[in-house]
Amino acid sequence: MALTEETRAQLLEIVARYPVPRSALNPMLHLVQSEEGYVSPEGIELCAEIVGLAPAEVAAVATFYTMYKRRPVGEHHIGVCVNPQCGILGGEAIFDALSSDLEIGNDETSADGKITIERIECQAACTYAPVATVDWEFMDDMSVDKMRDVVAKLRSGEEVQSSRGPVVQGFRAAERAIAGMDDGQADAGANNADANMQRGLTVAKEQGMPAVDGGLKS
Ligand code: FES
């Protein structure tokens, strides 16, 4: 899908949020992904023109961060955390199962164009290891069977709800939200910092440890 004048207008809208145009580059690239499913050469050219950088400079940013994709992502993006905590508790097994079921490897898309899988790094959600993401929404305490069920629902078009509330909307919609466009789901999560996540802080307070309430006590 070619980028449109509407896309250009939205990119300019993002730029207007920042004192320096080039500072807007990261959300701009996410907006390009929301339109094209990846950071296309055309998107790189357009961003470069708008912020006054060389296309090579924009490409350097797009190739540095793993969230920017160089080829089209499927309808849904599934990330499986394989860092130590998640990997040991089942992340590696989950990734291997999805890879085998879908007959694709890391950063590849299923033949029906529905699912892209990726081995991802720690999502700072180790409390709920093994963790996966669907369109960057958390799926906590996963297992091979649970993720197979998620994939089956996604492929058949059934609704999939994140463990933390939001209903997953698709990769492109997620990218649009990351670009800063309101998707109306900002308040959809109910337990983003629940008792399990704050367990360390609770114990620290109970035991009178010095590093509490966001600062060191003397
Ligand atoms: S290791 Fe997976 S969320 Fe931290």
Q: What are the tokens at 34? A: 């929301």
- Distance (angstroms) between ligand 1 centre and the Cα of 78 equals 15
User: How many angstroms separate the CA atoms of 167 and 135, rounded?
Assistant: 10
Q: Tens digit of pLDDT for each residue in 58-96?
A: 999 999 999 999 999 999 999 999 999 999 999 999 999
Q: Is the entire prediction scored with pTM above 0.95?
A: no
Quick check: 142 and 93 in contact, CB under 8 A? Answer: no
- Distance (angstroms) between ligand 1 centre and the Cα of 29 equals 26
Mean pLDDT along residues 180-186: 83
Strands (E), 53-110: 76-81, 108-109
Q: Which residue has the tokens 């730029």?
A: 15
User: How many angstroms separate the CA atoms of 98 and 114, rounded?
Assistant: 13
Q: What is the dihedral of CA 142, 143, 144, 147, to 10 degrees?
A: -20
Ligand 1 pocket, CB under 6 A:
81, 83, 85-86, 122-123, 125-126, 129, 131
Q: What is the mean pLDDT of the chain?
A: 92
Neighbouring residues of 107: CB distance < 8 A, sequence distance ≥ 6: 69, 116, 117, 118
Per-residue pLDDT at 212 = 60
Please tell me which residue, 213 or 193, carries the higher pLDDT value: 193
- Distance (angstroms) between ligand 1 centre and the Cα of 85 equals 6
Per-residue pLDDT at 218 = 41
Per-residue pLDDT at 201 = 83
- Distance (angstroms) between ligand 1 centre and the Cα of 120 equals 9
Domains defined for the chain, CATH in brackets: 5-64 (1.10.10.1590), 76-170 (3.40.30.10)
Residue of 92, 131, 140, 197 to mutate, ligand 1, most atoms within 8 A of C-beta = 131
Confidence of residue 122 (pLDDT cuts 50, 70, 90): very high
Confidence of residue 215 (pLDDT cuts 50, 70, 90): low
